[in-house]
C-alpha cells in the first residue's frame, strides 16, 4: 500500500514537473516572439525616420536650389513692369505681396525640412532661431536655457533638433500650453534635456494610437536611435514634462 502511494505521488510530481517545463517553454516562446515583434516595430520606425530625413533633405534642396531662385526671378520681373494706370499698379503691387508671402512660406517650409542654421552654426543657434519663429507664429511663450555649450556630432544634432520640434508641436497642439520651459545641460558625458509646460497635459498612450501619434513615436524612436533615456509625465491637468538623457 505504501509503495503504491509513493508511486502515485512520484507520478504526480513528474506530471507537475512536465507541466511546469511545458508552461515555461511556452512563456519563454511568447516572450521571445513579443520581443522580436517589438524589435521589428522599432526597426520599421527607425527605417521610416531615416527615409523621412532623406526625403526632407531632397525636398529642401529642391526648394532652395530650384524653386527659390525661380520665384525671386519672377519677383524681379514683376517689379520691372512699367504700368500706366493706377489700377494696373494696384494689381501688380498685390501680386508682388502675394509672391512675397509665397517666398516667405517656402523659406519657412525649407527651414523646417532642413534648417540651414543647424548646418552652419550648430544646434544651439538653430534651436534659438526655431523657437523665435514659433513665438512669432503661435504666440506661445518659450524660454530656452543652456547650462553649458552643446557639442554633438552632426547626425546626433539633427535627431535632437527633431525631438525638440516634436515636443514643441505636442505642447501647442495637444497640451494647449501658453508657456514652455526648455533646459539643456551636459554632465558626465550626457546631454540632459528637461522641459515643462503649463498646459492641460494629455494621454500619451491615446495620442500614440491615433495617426497623429507618429510624432510621439518619432520622439521615442529618435531617443532609442541615440541610445538615450526618455521619461514623459503628462497627466492631466498638471502640464507635461519631458526628461531626456542622451550619450554625447
Q: Which residue has the cell 538623457?
A: 245
Distance CA 161, CA 165 (A): 6
Distance CA 38, CA 33 (A): 9
> What confidence category does residue 40 fall into, taking pLDDT thresholds of 50, 70 and 90?
low
Question: Tens digit of pLDDT for each residue in 28-39?
Answer: 776 676 677 556
Beta bridge partners of 146: 184
Question: Tens digit of pLDDT for each residue in 147-175?
Answer: 888 888 888 888 899 899 889 888 887 77
**Structural contact between residues 82 and 136, judged by C-beta atoms closer than 8 angstroms:** no
For residue 202, give every residue at least 6 positions away whose Cβ sits within 8 Å of its Cβ, in sequence order, or none. Answer: 170, 174, 175, 234, 236, 240
Beta bridge partners of 247: 190
> Domains (ranges, CATH) in the chain?
2-111 (no CATH), 122-247 (3.30.565.10)
pLDDT at 18: 72
- How many C-beta atoms lie closer than 10 Å to residue 247's C-beta? 12
Q: Are strands 229-233 and 241-247 parallel, antiparallel or unpaired?
A: antiparallel
Question: Tens digit of pLDDT for each residue in 104-142?
Answer: 777 677 666 667 777 778 888 888 888 888 887 777 888
> Taking CA 199 as the corner, what is the angle to CA 195 and CA 134, rounded to the nearest 5 degrees?
65
Amino acid at each position: 500500500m505504501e509503495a503504491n502511494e509513493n508511486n502515485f505521488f512520484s507520478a504526480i510530481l513528474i506530471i507537475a514537473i512536465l507541466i511546469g517545463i511545458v508552461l515555461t517553454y511556452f512563456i519563454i516562446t511568447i516572450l521571445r516572439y513579443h520581443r522580436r515583434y517589438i524589435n521589428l516595430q522599432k526597426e520599421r520606425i527607425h527605417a521610416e525616420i531615416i527615409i523621412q530625413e532623406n526625403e526632407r533633405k531632397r525636398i529642401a534642396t529642391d526648394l532652395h536650389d530650384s524653386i527659390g531662385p525661380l520665384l525671386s526671378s519672377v519677383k524681379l520681373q514683376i517689379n520691372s513692369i512699367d504700368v500706366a494706370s493706377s489700377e494696373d499698379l494696384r494689381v501688380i503691387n498685390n501680386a508682388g505681396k502675394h509672391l512675397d508671402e509665397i517666398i516667405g512660406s517656402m523659406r519657412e517650409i525649407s527651414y523646417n525640412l532642413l534648417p540651414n542654421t543647424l548646418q552652419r552654426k550648430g544646434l544651439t543657434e538653430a534651436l534659438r532661431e526655431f523657437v523665435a519663429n514659433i513665438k512669432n507664429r503661435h504666440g506661445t511663450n518659450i524660454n530656452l536655457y543652456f547650462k553649458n555649450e552643446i557639442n554633438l556630432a552632426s547626425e546626433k544634432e539633427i535627431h535632437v533638433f527633431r525631438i525638440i520640434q516634436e515636443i514643441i508641436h505636442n505642447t501647442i497642439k495637444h497640451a494647449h500650453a501658453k508657456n514652455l520651459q526648455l533646459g539643456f545641460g551636459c554632465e558626465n558625458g550626457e546631454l540632459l534635456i528637461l522641459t515643462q509646460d503649463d498646459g492641460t497635459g494629455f494621454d500619451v498612450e491615446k495620442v500614440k494610437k491615433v495617426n497623429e501619434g507618429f510624432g510621439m513615436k518619432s520622439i521615442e524612436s529618435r531617443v532609442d536611435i541615440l541610445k538615450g533615456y526618455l521619461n514623459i509625465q503628462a497627466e492631466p491637468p498638471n502640464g507635461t514634462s519631458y526628461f531626456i538623457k542622451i550619450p554625447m
